[in-house]
Amino acid sequence: MNILIIGGGGVVGQKLAAELVARGELRGREIDRITLADINQPNVIPSTGVSVLAVECDISDYASVEACIGEDTDVIYLLAAIVSAHAEEDFEAGYRINMMGTLNVLDRARALGTRPVVVFTSSIAVFGGEVPDPITDHTLLNPQTSYGAQKAIGELLVTDYSRKGFIDGRGFRLPTISVRPGAPNRAASSFMSSILREPLNGQEAICPVDEDFLHYYLSPRVCVENLIRGAEIAEEDLGQNRCMMMPGRMWAIRDLVAAMTAVAGPEPARLIRWEAQPEIKRIVSGWRFDLRPEKSIKLGLKADESFEDNIRYYLEDDKPGP
């Protein structure tokens, strides 16, 4: 079993690789090789039983994708993308990377002639606008940002390439992943980790929305578990629509802060500054939040039990040492 993780330098890609190395098997087969690919060469996950490689890959360049996806590739995780606020600011880059990059990967997978499994990470940003609540697996995709539109196009491509028998595709609309380790990125949702991560590390953070703001969350640890389960779902169980919501849970910002306080005490919350940022609020307010991920739950994916768990996972897995 040879696995390629495109976007393997990111938080989720690195954690996914580490968990696959620890498991040593996927889809009932022993893993021989994991290749981590990204625009900059990713860090290699230590391993004694599985060969782990790292390569550079620009998904907007078909030749780069062709060199990255070998003929013996069995499973492709397509995690790479430029994130929401970046895609909104740079229209051309968003479509070149998020849309054409996805098409390049799918075309290379098609050219293999082996119908590899392709796991595509989409986003809840595909929903929005004038569609009624609640959002179900059959709700019209109606994105209100360029990033959401690019992900919606990717979903349609994954479903169509699967229908034609070119790939065995499955796509999962990720909730906002929190608490993410590392530095803030250009995602509009980046503050949903930074308002927790930075205070937990004794640093000040800015919250650009009010405490009543509702959103849909999942921890990195459970996201990785779901991505592995997602690759293992039998093709016949996926049905005609290959893309679905990944389970998450809805919480207000005040719930996140309360969870942090319950786990880590009152001091971190005092480091949050509440400063409105209208452009960020405009983007995130266009996302829809009353989500009912019935299909993925039936297929064995799951959400976190509480946001206290999200805080604990960050402290256990990612908080830098003294």
Q: What is the pLDDT of residue 188?
A: 74
Which residue(s) pair with 52 in the sheet?
A: 34
Please choose, from the candidates 142, 146, 153, 48, the residue with its C-alpha nearest in 3D space to the C-alpha of residue 100. 153
Q: Which residues contact 85 (CB under 8 A, 6 or more apart)?
A: 186, 187, 188, 190, 280, 283
Token code pair at residue 108: 């290379």
Interval 44-77: pLDDT, tens:
999 989 999 999 999 999 999 999 999 999 999 9
pLDDT confidence band for 302 (50 / 70 / 90): very high
CA distance 197 to 220: 13
Q: What are phi and psi of 13, to 5 degrees?
A: -60, -45
Full DSSP string of 194-237? HHHHHHHTT--EEE-S-TT-EEEEE-HHHHHHHHHHHHHS-HHH
Percentage of the chain exceeding pLDDT 90 = 86
Instruction: State the DSSP H helix or E strand holding residue 174, giving kind and residue range, or none if neither.
Output: strand 168-174
Active-site residue set: 147
Mean of the per-residue pLDDT values of the chain = 95
- Over residues 157-171, the mean pLDDT reads 98
Contact (CB, 8 A) for 119 and 230: yes
* HSE toward the beta carbon, residue 39, CA cutoff 13 A: 10
Percentage of the chain exceeding pLDDT 70 = 99
Interval 90-101: pLDDT, tens:
999 999 999 999
Q: Is the pLDDT of residue 84 over 90?
A: no
Q: Is the pLDDT of residue 22 over 90?
A: yes
Instruction: State the DSSP H helix or E strand holding residue 272, giving kind and residue range, or none if neither.
Output: strand 272-274
Asked if the peptide bond before residue 134 counts as cis, ω within 30 degrees of 0, the response is yes
pTM of the model as a whole: 0.95
Q: How far is CA 254 from the centre of its chain?
A: 24
Which residue(s) pair with 29 in the sheet?
A: 26
Token code pair at residue 5: 């993780």
Which residue(s) pair with 312 in the sheet?
A: none
CA distance 306 to 310: 7
CA distance 289 to 35: 35
Q: What is the pLDDT of residue 296?
A: 98
Looking at residue 120, the DSSP 8-state letter turns out to be E
Contact (CB, 8 A) for 102 and 171: no
